[in-house]
Structure 1
Amino acid sequence: MPLHRIRALLAGALATLALGMALPAHAQWKPTERITYLIGVAPGGTVDLYARGVRDALENLKLTNGQTVVPENKVGAGGALALQQLKANAGNGHWLATFHTGAIAGAATGLLRIDPREFVPVAMLVEETSLVAVRADSPLKDGKDLVALLRADPTKARIAVAPALGQNTHLAIAKPLQAAGVAIDRLTIAPFRSSGESVTALLGGHVDVVSATAPVILPHVAAGKLRILASAAAEPGTGALAGVKTWREQGVPADYVSYNGVMLAPGVGADQIRMWEDALRKVSQDPAWLQMVEKSGNKPIFRGFVDSHRYLHAEWKATGELVQQLKLGAPK
């Protein structure tokens, strides 16, 4: 390289360095007022459980600049009311909401009248396993029994899901049943406001089957009140789910995995995203948080803003295709 070219490059580098030293350091954004954490379902289900677990970890680890995190269950329209309130606070990093696969599914089916792609997913914290369960005295012993029953008559069993038709707990049972040859458009599906309520309905004899995530089912299995028929996980479970057979292990070529995390309002700045991503990364490493998620039967993970954003758009496409196959609706 010619000497004059080397000198020019060196001069440019030194000028850039000098400019950087002259500029003031960018102050990281920090919360300066109460933080509202919107939860789009009623208390008692896993979405509520994990949101409150995140709140506890944020405060216990002192990650919010001394500000209180207030969880608010904003129930209605399958979670759309919570997202509408979040959208009304565009650009404000003091507002959080649950980021969940169910919102993507609900929007793709047209049941959730708001587009989750408008929002900012900042972290994914839990990989959830969906289970199908019945009361302990049910004649159904496994997933094969359920498939046989519903192939003969798709209306024979009342199936509880939450928080609305076309969302993740619905898709988690519809997908394997469809793969097993059941006419899923004829199923009797009963939606409840939360998985806690759907399990209560099952225990009370108001429905025959429930599709829900592991944390709301496992305590009742341990108490001898419920029996798990199948897991929608892609792989056999461990810990509390050891020995629970997946649909694939029972000859049904399907699985369905959902994720739980945190999203921010549209229009937040990079500094707000960075602050919350860093805080939630620390939450994901907290021993109390890890113990709670693992005890619930789900898997603690951490995927930051970039991976969460990619997942949102990839899942939107994949769910749209699934919805069309299941004839549950059409993506907006």
Structure 2
Amino acid sequence: MHRRTATAWIAGLGLSGLTAPAQASWNPSERINYIIGVAPGGTVDLYARGIKDTLDSLKLTHGQSVLVENKVGAGGAIAMQFLKGQAGNAHYLGTFHTGAIAGAVSGLIKADPRDFLPVAMLVEETSLVAVRADSPLKDGLDLVAALKAEPAKLRIAVAPALGQNTHLALAKPLSVAGVAIGQLTIAPFRSSGESVTALIGGHVDVVSATAPVILPQVQAGKLRILASAAPEPGNGALAGVKTWRQLGVAADYVSYNGVTLPPGVNADQIRFWEEALRQVAHDKAWIAMVEKSGNKPIFRGYVDSHRYLQSEWTATTELVRQLNLGAGK
């Protein structure tokens, strides 16, 4: 799919004019299998299970059950390879996430997200950097100063692999601030839930993760947020948290979370899932859950999601080259 232009591919499916809900002629006729490429405990898992629960509560799958399964390993590549093996079968869903783009561009995930069909984006995620509450580091500028002095001294946890979104969300502002990011000590974990647990346990010194896994520990008095990678200040639980830009570092990093389909599905199948997920996105309970987690609920359908995938691939390729995190593609 990635060997064609976005416009030609969309037009080939007859989806170029999808600007409003369309009636799909395909409906599920067997169990839905929702494949998650990370371990339980992180935001990708959290939102996938939230989507599953909303599909169930709104009865959007024509009486078919939805089974969630975590296929963990190789930075998400095992799940992607499994989903690729279900080509043409719209009874399989996968997780669409900016981290997969970053990992593939940097060569750390041996799978290509452009082989899949991103049917919807439902969450705009805020990446945070945090330390234990007793850390001497009080904000992002303290972290910059410490890493400029000794780049390798602090162990920084990311998930689920090097070169993915939680890594880039911290590497980008640190690079802009003048830190030698190629010398950092980065510790990858299988999920952000595990990386936060490692921070609380004293096994690492800093964590970069998205808001839902950090905020509960901040509220429990165990962690302190140093900075947010969001382009604008947050609200609610993130009110008062300084962005890197507010701290004088001209950098931000936004990632998205949603749903993808295997290659080879048809336009009717895409329309069915786009409309079902549109209803998920407008559900009050779903919106409340996402907002409580510290992230922003959104809805962007297939066309916008596909265009984002293409543009983010290009932008991330340039970022990876600038940061010397991989060869890019």
Superposition TM-score, scaled by structure 2 size: 0.93
Q: Which residue of 2 aligns with 1:253?
A: 250
Give the counterpart letter for 1:281 in structure 2: R
- Equivalent in the alignment of 2:294: 297
Structure 2: how far apart are the matches of 1:309 and 1:331? 20
- The structure with the larger Rg is 1
Answer yes or no: is the 8 Å Cα contact 2:24–2:269 preserved in 1: no
> For residue 9 of structure 2, what is the aligned residue in structure 1?
none
SS in 2 for 1:67: coil
* Partner of residue 206, structure 1: 203
Determine the structure 1 residue equivalent to 2:190: 193
Instruction: Indicate yes or no: 2:159 matched with 1:184.
Output: no
Which runs of structure 2 are paired with 1:9-28 in the superposition (5 Å)? 28=25
Matched residues in 1 for 2:128 and 2:71: separation? 25
| Larger helix fraction of residues | 1
Aligned pairs for 1:1-332 within 5 A: 28-332=25-329
Q: Which amino acid aligns with 1:277?
A: E
Aligned residue number for residue 12 of structure 2? none
Amino acid at match of 2:317: G
CA–CA distance in structure 1, aligned partners of residues 282 and 89 of structure 2: 26
**1:258 is matched by which residue type in structure 2?**
S
Contact kept in structure 1, 2:123 and 2:256, CA below 8 Å: yes
Alignment partner of 1:31: what SS?
Answer: coil
Return the offset for 1:27: 6.9
Aligned to 2:14: none
Q: CA RMSD in A?
A: 0.8
Secondary structure at the counterpart of residue 248 of structure 1: coil
Instruction: Give 2:258's aligned amino acid.
Output: G
Query: Displacement, 1:114?
Result: 1.0
Describe the superposition over 1:226-275 as per-residue Cα deviations: whole angstroms up to 9, x where unpaired. 00000000000111100000001001110000000000000000000000
Q: Give per-residue Cα distances to partners, 1:176-216, cap 9 Å, x unaligned.
A: 00000000000000000000000000000000000000000
| Residue identity (%) | 78
**For residues 111 and 200 of structure 2, what CA distance do their matches in structure 1 show?**
33
Q: Which amino acid aligns with 2:176?
A: A
Kindly provide the amino acid, as one letter, of the partner of residue 193 in structure 1.
R
Shift, 1:133, TM fit: 0.2
For residue 144 of structure 2, what is the amino acid of its counterpart?
A: V
Runs of 4+ in 1 over 4 A off after TM superposition: none
Aligned residues of 2:244 and 2:252 also touching (Cα < 8 A): yes
Contact 2:24 2:272 in 1 (8 A): no
Gaps of 5+ in 2: 1-22
What are the Cα deviations for residues 266-294 of structure 1, in whole angstroms up to 9, with x where unaligned? 00000000000000000000011000000
Distance 2:80 2:269 in 1: 18
Alignment-derived partner of residue 8 in structure 1: none
How far off is 1:115 after superposition?
1.1
Checking the alignment, whether the CA contact within 8 Å between 2:24 and 2:271 is kept in structure 1 is: no
Structure 1 unaligned residues grouped into runs of 5+: 1-25
In structure 2, distance between residues paired with 1:114 and 1:182: 30
Q: Which string of whole-angstrom CA distances, capped at 9 and with x for unpartnered residues, describes residues 43-79 of structure 1?
A: 0000000000000000110000101111110100000
- Residues of 2 paired with 1:274 and 1:89: CA distance? 18
* Matched position secondary structure for 1:263: strand
Code of the residue aligned with 2:269 in structure 1: it is: Q
CA distance in 2, matches of 1:330, 1:91: 32
- AA aligned opposite 1:303: R
Note the C-alpha offset of 1:331.
2.3
Give the direction of change, closer, same or farther, for the CA distance of 1:224–1:65 in structure 2 (3 Å limit): same
Cα deviation, 1:125-170, whole Å, max 9, x if unaligned, reads 0000000000000000000000000000101110000000000000
Q: Provide the rounded CA distance (Å) in 2 between the counterparts of 1:60 and 1:39.
A: 20
Number of aligned residue pairs = 307
Amino acid at match of 1:206: H
